[in-house]
Structures are given as structure tokens and as C-alpha cells.
Amino acid sequence: MIKRIQAWLSRKDRQEQPVEISPDNIPRHVAVIMDGNGRWAKRRGLPRIVGHQNGMKAVKRTTIAANDLGVEFLTMYAFSTENWKRPKEEVDFLMRLPVEFLALELDELIEKNVQVRVMGDTDALPAHTRKAMEEAVNRTKHNTGLILNFALNYGSRKEIEDCMRGLGRDIQAGLLSPEDITSQLIDNRLMTSGLPDPDLLIRTSGEMRLSNFMLWQVAYSEFWFTDAYWPEFDKTHLLQAVAEYQRRTRRYGGLK
């Protein structure tokens, strides 16, 4: 027990130390798997929806912090293709969250020159969710600052399957030959076309898996995990993640 307390105190001291960030090595693209809303609420004896509401506040905090830090692209895993398996009441609430979030925060995002994008099977979203996202995309499309990319009803395996089907149809139609297929061509056919691959992937709540998120794109991303639940995530956590990213050497399979 004493050793556990000592380890906890040591970890706490490390977390409270000032985080030093070099402005010369900021990750261009940060991807976030936002996890732990329900468990955060459960620990407090609250309904899961309260966790999702507080998670929405963390989205704003993180977006502003990333923008201030100089991150160019921020992709947030908001709802996966597998999340439809959750209870209907929770799914319905999650589908209302983008509407609520954008109603409250879109004007400030516009003031901060943030451009909103969305990737995923948006046709399957409820009309009110789709309308809110389309409005946000249209109203911010000329902004030139941070690109805030929501992965909504997104699943990487389906994304790759759709890409392969498209390539197969083009080969069948004589528009492509198998030799034409390159990594760059696949990049251009994925939902992230036009975006650089994530430099840094963050996952909250202590889980250490990708959960069908950007499987192709994170091939050489640096991963950073934290035990903090998503509603607890703030600027300090982001700075810790970036500081750890800056301590690493990215070799891309080489020896440099």
C-alpha cells in the first residue's frame, strides 16, 4: 500500500511540473479517440448522458487549446459505426449533441477562424444532426485556421472497404489497371483525402486500442494514452501529449 501511495505521489508531482513545449515541433495533425464519458459519470453516480454533456465541453477546451498551440488539423472520433449498438436512448442523445454543441459554440469557432469538417457516413445520420453539421461546414468553409474534423458515424474498415470497391469498379471499367494502385492513390480515395496523416494519436480513459479509427492513416503516428476520462481532458493533458511527442524520434522505419 505504501509503495502504491508513493508511486501515486511521484506521478502526481510529475504531472504538476511545468510542461515545456518547443514551438518548432508542433504536430500538424492530432487525432483524438474521446473515451470515458460514461465511466466518468458512473464514478459520480450520474447518468451517462451527463458524461456526454461534459465531454462536449472537453471538445471545446481541446479545440481552443490546439488552435492556440498551432495545431493545424484536429480530428475527433465523435461516433463510430459500432456505436449504433448502444441503447436507443443514448444514441438519440448522442445524435442531438452536435446540434447542441454547434448552436452554442459555432459563432466562437468562426471568430477563431476554425474550419469545421466531418467524415463518415453522414447519410445515415438523423436529419437534425446532418443539418447542423452541414450548416457548420458551410459557414466555416472559407476559414483558414485550424481544421476541426469530426469523425461521425465513421468506421475505418468500412472506409477502406468502400475505397477498395471503388478501385475495383474503376479497374472493371478499364479506368485503372492494378499497377496504378499506389499508397498515394488510396490516400486520395479515403475520407481524409487532402489531410496529412495524424502525427499524434491521443486516447483517453486508459484504453489502449484503436477501435476501428483511421487504421490506414495512423501507420506511423505517435500514440499517447492517458487514464483521464474524456470529460477531464484539458489543455494540460494536451500539452503533456505534445511534450511526449516532442521527446520521441520518428524514424518511419529507418535508422535516423
CA 196 – CA 31 distance, rounded (Å):
11
161 and 38 belong to one structural domain: no
99 and 221 belong to one structural domain: yes
124 and 204 belong to one structural domain: yes
Q: What percent of the chain has pLDDT over 70?
A: 92
pLDDT at 138 over 80: yes
Residue 28 within any structural domain of the chain: yes
- Give the residue with greater pLDDT, 254 vs 12: 254
Contact 213, 35 (CB under 8 A): no
229 and 210 belong to one structural domain: yes
Residue 99 within any structural domain of the chain: yes
* Residue-wise pLDDT tens digits, 192-250: 999 999 999 999 999 999 999 999 999 999 999 999 999 999 999 999 999 999 999 87
Give the number of domains in the chain: 2
Binding residues for Mg(2+) are 35, 222
Binding residues are 35-40, 48, 52, 80-82, 84, 86, 203, 209-211, 222
As annotated, the active-site residues are: 35, 83
* Residue-wise pLDDT tens digits, 40-54: 999 999 999 999 999
- Give the residue with greater pLDDT, 175 vs 14: 175
| Residues in a beta bridge with 80 | 154
Residue 16 — very low, low, confident or very high, per pLDDT cuts 50/70/90?
A: low
Phi, psi of 70 (to 5 degrees): 100, 10
Residue at a domain's end among 143, 166, 190:
190
Least confident of 2-6, 160-164, 229-233, 250-254: 2-6
226 and 162 belong to one structural domain: no
Residue 205 within any structural domain of the chain: yes
Domain that holds residue 222: 24-154+197-247
Q: What share of the chain is helix, strand, coil (3-state, %, to 5)?
A: 50, 15, 35
